[in-house]
């Protein structure tokens, strides 16, 4: 078993570092272009592997913080990726049962995380639990309003999900590896730096009513023209 957990740790480190370095590249290149889709897909799968191996590793070192942070990071990465396939909710009111189920389960899990954090007085876990519950609730509210989304809502969700996943991954690395930083500071600094970036991107998208260029790959099949 020790060999298994050692290999799991190496895989986690490799995937984590891949995600750390690829995310800025995906942000820097032209949005919607081939490079953006390619590096975005690499980032998504890096987060999936890093989050999955973190969940396994958390059982070995008995770290509740690592487990719940991994769950949050995976959920947000999935939220960001799935949004690429929900562009049609700007005019189509039909929402897949899968999407309802994922958001519903997410709300239950993150609400439970908040309750656990309050009981144990674990602020870092509580913050991620609250953000996760808020995201899941916002998803459910958005699905209830399907057919009336703005044309760029899917893009706002995509940005929020991927950047939040990245922030969570950096926070987990900071808390578990940068021991010279006080635990609370190590947890908070990625959020303090990352949230303004998300807000900036949201304002930019809303201001320009931006839309990714149609294409295949990470964005899925070419989306039908958005109705006016």
- Residues 31-83 have pLDDT tens digits of 888 899 999 999 999 999 999 999 999 888 888 888 888 999 999 999 999 99
- Residues 87-117 have pLDDT tens digits of 999 999 899 999 999 999 999 999 999 999 9
**At residue 3, does pLDDT exceed 50?**
yes
Residue-wise DSSP of 76-125: HHHHHHHGGG-GGGGT-----HHHHHHHHHHHHHHHHHHHHHHHHT-HHH
Please check whether residue 149 lies inside any domain of the structure: yes
CA distance 169 to 174: 9
Please check whether residue 225 lies inside any domain of the structure: no
Please check whether residue 201 lies inside any domain of the structure: yes
Please check whether residue 80 lies inside any domain of the structure: yes
Instruction: Indicate the SS3 state at residue 61.
Output: helix
**At residue 224, does pLDDT exceed 50?**
no
pLDDT at 219: 37
pLDDT at 85: 94
Rounded to 10°, the helix 123-144/183-208 angle is: 20
Question: Looking at the 3D structure of the chain, how many domains does it have?
Answer: 1
Please check whether residue 136 lies inside any domain of the structure: yes
- Residues 125-175 have pLDDT tens digits of 888 899 999 999 999 999 999 999 999 999 999 999 999 999 999 988 888
Please check whether residue 228 lies inside any domain of the structure: no
Instruction: Indicate the SS3 state at residue 170.
Output: helix
Question: Could you tell me the residue range of the domain that residue 123 belongs to?
Answer: 2-219
**At residue 207, does pLDDT exceed 70?**
yes
How is residue 32 annotated by DSSP? T
Which range among 11-20, 23-32, 110-119 shows the weakest confidence by mean pLDDT?
A: 23-32
Q: What percent of the chain has pLDDT over 70?
A: 91
**195-200 mean pLDDT:** 91
* Band (221; pLDDT cuts 50, 70, 90): very low
Please check whether residue 226 lies inside any domain of the structure: no
CA distance 116 to 68: 11
Please check whether residue 73 lies inside any domain of the structure: yes
């Amino acid at each position: 078993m020790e060999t298994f957990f050692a290999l799991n740790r190496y895989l986690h480190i490799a995937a984590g570092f891949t995600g750390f370095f690829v995310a800025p590249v995906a942000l820097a290149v032209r949005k919607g272009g081939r490079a953006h889709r390619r590096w975005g897909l690499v980032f998504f799968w890096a987060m999936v592997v890093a989050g999955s191996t973190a969940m396994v590793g958390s059982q070995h070192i008995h770290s509740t913080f690592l487990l719940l942070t991994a769950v949050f990071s995976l959920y947000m990465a999935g939220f960001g990726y799935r949004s690429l396939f929900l562009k049609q909710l700007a005019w189509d009111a039909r929402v897949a049962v899968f999407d309802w189920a994922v958001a519903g389960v997410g709300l239950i899990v993150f609400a439970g995380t908040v309750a656990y954090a309050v009981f144990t007085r674990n602020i870092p876990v509580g913050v991620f639990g609250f953000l996760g519950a808020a995201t899941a609730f916002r998803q459910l509210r958005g699905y209830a309003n399907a057919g009336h989304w703005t044309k760029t809502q899917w893009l706002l969700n995509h940005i929020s999900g991927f950047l939040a996943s990245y922030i969570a991954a950096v926070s987990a690395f900071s808390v578990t590896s940068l021991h010279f930083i006080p635990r609370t500071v190590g947890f908070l600094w990625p959020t303090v730096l990352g949230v303004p970036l998300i807000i900036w991107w949201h304002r930019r998208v809303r201001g320009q009513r931006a839309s990714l260029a149609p294409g295949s790959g990470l964005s899925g099949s070419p989306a039908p023209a958005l109705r006016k």
